[in-house]
Structure 1
Amino acid sequence: MDQQEYAVGATRVAAGRPNGRTGGAGRGTAAAVLAVREAVRTEAAGALDALDAVGTADASDTTGTTGTTDAADAADVEPGLGAADGADDTRAAGAGHGVALSPDPGLLRLAHWFAAATPGSADDLCTASFGLYPARHLGAPAEPADPDVSWWHGPTAHGLASARSRETRADGGLRRARRDSAELPVVRSGAKSGRPGRHRKPERIPLMSEEAASVGPPPLVVAQDRSGEELPAAERRIAARLLLAHPLVTASGPHADGFPLIRRHRDWLAERFDTLLGYRLDVGPWHARLCKAGLGPGAARRLEHPATGAPFTPGGYAQLALALALLVDAPEQLEYRRLLDAMRAAAPGLTADPADLDMALAALAGWQVLGELPAGTAADASAAAPADADADASSDAFVLTVDRDLARAVPVGPPALADDAADLVRRAAEAEPATAVRRLLAETPAVLAADLPEDCRTWLHEHRLSGPAALADFLGLETELRAEGVALLDPAAELTDLALPGAGTLAQATLLLVERLVEEVRPLPAETTEGDVPIADALIDGVLGDITDEYGLPARYLSDRTALRRDALDLLHGLGLITPTPQPKRPPTWHLRPHAARFAPAPDLHPTPGTGRHSRPAPFIPPPPGPRTEQRA
């Protein structure tokens, strides 16, 4: 059975607009829609004839009453199917008149799992059930080094990644963390300025003025190599990177420019994603969906509000799954108030917080599952009772546009087959060792051998060169091998949702924090370590205090050191540079990971011993062997 069918359990109905852009089954469904409408019209006419034959006396019977209601509903829908009024009557019919909204059982079950989850486990459940997370990679590769050298003691990317002069600083920014844009430009989109590169998209042609249009159209610009031939390999790499960064791409969405490339190379992309990562690629007329797998517990991936950036709460996830449970089989046009009422009726025990509902509907609108939302009424409408006379009339009358194809494309995990939320997270991450390791390489900043189970660790050791190299070639990344593990780097800083170094005060302060933490706790070659190094809370607070004193920070961080600590540690945790160790009744303790050392200056492997109580002792250097010792050897 197809994964999407058992994941959603939705009945695929031939309905919607023939062009497939605003819902329905897409192109080629016009005949099916007309057949359904003709059947309804015939049944309505037959019901009216039967009522006339039976008479008024029989109309009071239960069957007669039901027939009257059905016939009246059908008659209200059908008479306006002429060329002029068809769209309006279709809108009225789809808005919910006489159409029951029944929730999908699997997604309804998923909504209850979200409601009962903790914030961290809810993020893992979202990753497993929706798989809409972007890839996350580090940039600024370091100098080549022996693969057996540790990240702690090898070359770093500090020269490219950070730090400019402390002497001069423009208002509103940090001095050391401000980067020279001429040396390392920050580019967030596919169309880059500067000289063209192997993996860069062709520059967009600007709109012509009237004078230029009178001369004639400019020549078509295509990606070419030196021989003048087209480069399908570059197009495939661009399409693959786009899908890995944005698993749901629509023909009219923010990444519509790359959709033609995905459709053009869909067969090749589907084969490569399936072979390397075990991902299924579904490409329709108006959307492409890369069905990613889960990353297991503790993956630190979460959804955020599209407008505010606020992280999703378990209640927000629950409202998202609940809305999807109704939208997978909803009519194309649905009254906003009717959707809210149906959500309350389907799960009376899930109390909807206004902020959670607003967050869920905003995410659905961002994915284009829903069209335009009523402005500023999501929270107010959810708080109002159905019988509240003061409810906003405009939101009650607002009609949502539903794209059922996109609604069915969102879930990828198997909620109907899992026993509970933990079982769903486990099932979604299951894969053979080769696929499991390649997924981590493609989706996460670094893969440490110590984090892998024994079978995956063995595979990585045996395929240390060939395994990462295949993915690097497929996605246009660079491989960094170290003693602790492997990292696939993206110097273009595109294939990631979190960037370090990055723009903004928080990213700059976080870069300074990790740089100084590494300098303080980096183990020396003679010191034994299992990979991660513990960080004292007092050291974190002290370094952040020094950064605050030395550099200009926004007022909100100057007045709230706790917010600076929380946001900086959250960014480092998201990039996998630190990891928490939970404690029963205390905040977690943090450990610095080896690949964090690539952001610090080159290590001094023979430091001068200090004189303070907490200074490191001088490293023991054994004396050279004497002549007698050599003779014994």
Structure 2
Amino acid sequence: MIDDIALTGERQAAARRLLRTPVLSARTHPRDLALVRAHSDWLVQRFRRVLGYELVVEADHARLVKAAPPQDAPPPRRASGAPLTPRAYTYLALTLAALPECAASTGTGEVADRVRAAAAEAGLAHDPEARAAERRAFAAALRHLASWGVLAEREEGALADYAAGSRPAAALDADAEAARRALAHPPHSASGPEEFLESARDPDPAADADGEVALRRLLAEQAVVYREDLPERQRGRLARHQWRAAAELGALLGCETEVRAEGVALITPDGRDEALLPGEGAEGRAALLLVRGLAGRVRPPATPARAAEVPEAVLEEELAAALPDGPGRRDLRARVLRRLCGAGLLRAPDGGGRQGWELLAAAARYGPQGARIRDNGPDRPVPAAAGTGAPSGTDESGGR
């Protein structure tokens, strides 16, 4: 029995790791890759059945091919936590296109030449070595690919020196097969970017079986799913199938489910109380401090409404308390606010009907009265934390 529990725990830990990091390499994540390889058959079958995701496991890497991200998904981040700039993101795409043509033992010079040619073919005026800003953006893309295991520096710190201009070139090892698999949805004929993205993503399928899979993907990938944000058809599916989805995802990921009138959140057992918002790094710690401060002063209304206005003075006071002093304070402020919005805890002004910041219902779990809520099963009510409204099993009115 103990062995069965340990086996299940290992499989679920591997599944959670793949969901967070869908490209695992022997270079960058040797232990995680070994765990995935040990349970590859189970993982391949479960990901395909529960989420409709394909998992490819090779000797030196694993790739979970997920659905396209939602339209408002944050861009890839650098190691510092800052998002890649649009230019660096363009170089990321161009480099992925160029790498399969590069030798296994290569360098920034050869990769830059092939990226320059790929850019010209695409009608882009991108030259990785034309000036310092281009070099930095190109190097940021290379470092991002190195974090995936697609590239490896022959000498530690070579890419940082190359980006700073203190080194004319950096020797690299390239994995062409990993580069080919890095793209979940390889380019194909489409009339434009919008059509290409929509071909990889259907948030509201007409068929009920496909709709359930799309719903489980949403629950697995988003920190919080608010009912009012869903299309009407998916809102109905959530009302009918949320407990079945919770059971399927719980078996795959070892997660628990919080169900409220406002929506649903999955809580993963990663040993942190801050399950929705892991407090790692300066950005994570500041985000936790900020949301805790706001939740202690601004509480969402005790109705199924999902938001409460945050007075500007309160936001500024809590930001002052949460952010450390330093030259990067302004950039950190923007990243922290963006992180809380992405976690479904805060909503930014939109310049239209919503003029100010709003604290969303899920933030109540970080307040002084917020308690972790466990999935007690479909026949037992789920208590609502202070200020989040009535508990709900199936619909916005609170009925099951």
Q: TM-score under structure 2 normalisation? A: 0.77
CA distance 1:494–1:428, shift in 2 (3 Å): farther
1:493 and 1:409 map into 2 onto residues whose CA distance is: 31
Residue-pair matches, total: 355
Deviations 1:294-321 (A, max 9, x none): 2321123x22223x43320110011111
1:244 corresponds in structure 2 to 19
- CA shift for structure 1 position 521: 3.8
- CA shift for structure 1 position 326: 1.2
**Residues 1:279 and 2:53 are matched in the alignment:** yes
- Map 1:224-243 onto structure 2 (within 5 A): 225-226=1-2, 231-243=6-18
2:335 and 2:248 map into 1 onto residues whose CA distance is: 35
Find the partner of 1:419 among 187, 191, 203.
Answer: 191
CA distance 1:443–1:392, shift in 2 (3 Å): closer
Q: Which moved more, 1:480-489 or 1:570-579?
A: 570-579
Find the partner of 2:244 among 463, 466, 482.
Answer: 466
2:325 corresponds in structure 1 to 555
**Residues 1:372 and 2:153 are matched in the alignment:** yes
1:239–1:262 contact (8 Å) kept in structure 2 = yes
Find the partner of 1:449 among 227, 234, 246.
Answer: 227
- CA shift for structure 1 position 476: 0.7
- CA shift for structure 1 position 371: 2.4
1:241–1:495 contact (8 Å) kept in structure 2 = no
Find the partner of 1:515 among 288, 292, 296.
Answer: 292
2:126 corresponds in structure 1 to 350
2:277–2:288 contact (8 Å) kept in structure 1 = no
Q: Which moved more, 1:560-569 or 1:405-414?
A: 560-569
CA distance 1:497–1:464, shift in 2 (3 Å): closer
Q: Secondary structure at the match of 1:249?
A: strand
Q: Secondary structure at the match of 2:106?
A: strand
| Structure 1 residues not aligned, in runs of 5+ | 1-224, 385-390, 604-633
Find the partner of 1:580 among 348, 366, 370.
Answer: 348
Deviations 1:468-503 (A, max 9, x none): 121012211111111111111124247999844x25
1:531 and 1:284 map into 2 onto residues whose CA distance is: 44
Q: Rg bigger for which structure?
A: 1
Q: Secondary structure at the match of 1:360?
A: helix
**Residues 1:296 and 2:51 are matched in the alignment:** no
1:524 and 1:434 map into 2 onto residues whose CA distance is: 31
**Residues 1:255 and 2:15 are matched in the alignment:** no
- CA shift for structure 1 position 383: 10
Find the partner of 1:569 among 307, 317, 337.
Answer: 337
1:523–1:529 contact (8 Å) kept in structure 2 = no
Amino acid at match of 2:77: E
- Map 1:180-195 onto structure 2 (within 5 A): none
Q: Secondary structure at the match of 1:555?
A: coil
1:357–1:379 contact (8 Å) kept in structure 2 = no
CA distance 1:533–1:427, shift in 2 (3 Å): farther
2:163 and 2:282 map into 1 onto residues whose CA distance is: 36
Find the partner of 1:305 among 57, 61, 78.
Answer: 78
Q: Secondary structure at the match of 1:334?
A: strand
2:200 corresponds in structure 1 to 428
1:340 corresponds in structure 2 to 112
Q: Secondary structure at the match of 1:433?
A: helix
2:275 and 2:96 map into 1 onto residues whose CA distance is: 25
CA distance 1:534–1:420, shift in 2 (3 Å): farther
CA distance 1:542–1:428, shift in 2 (3 Å): same
Amino acid at match of 2:179: A
2:300–2:306 contact (8 Å) kept in structure 1 = no
Amino acid at match of 1:315: R
- Map 1:60-209 onto structure 2 (within 5 A): none
Amino acid at match of 1:240: A
1:601 corresponds in structure 2 to 368
Amino acid at match of 1:292: K
- CA shift for structure 1 position 537: 2.6
1:248–1:287 contact (8 Å) kept in structure 2 = yes
Amino acid at match of 1:570: R
| Identity rate, percent | 36
2:87 corresponds in structure 1 to 315
1:544 corresponds in structure 2 to 319
Q: Secondary structure at the match of 1:576?
A: coil
Amino acid at match of 1:268: W
Q: Secondary structure at the match of 1:429?
A: coil
**Residues 1:330 and 2:102 are matched in the alignment:** yes
Higher relative contact order structure (alpha carbons within 8 Å, sequence separation ≥ 6): 1
Q: TM-score under structure 1 normalisation? A: 0.50
1:197 corresponds in structure 2 to none
- CA shift for structure 1 position 565: 3.8
CA distance 1:324–1:404, shift in 2 (3 Å): same
CA RMSD of aligned residues (A): 3.4
Amino acid at match of 2:53: Y
2:230 and 2:189 map into 1 onto residues whose CA distance is: 26
Amino acid at match of 2:255: L
Deviations 1:379-437 (A, max 9, x none): 886899xxxxxx966x3xx6532211101110012421333222233232225321121
- CA shift for structure 1 position 255: 2.7
1:493 and 1:294 map into 2 onto residues whose CA distance is: 29
Find the partner of 2:173 among 396, 401, 426.
Answer: 401
CA distance 1:420–1:538, shift in 2 (3 Å): farther
2:28 and 2:256 map into 1 onto residues whose CA distance is: 27
Amino acid at match of 1:365: A
Q: Secondary structure at the match of 1:325?
A: helix
1:313 and 1:346 map into 2 onto residues whose CA distance is: 19
1:361 and 1:555 map into 2 onto residues whose CA distance is: 31
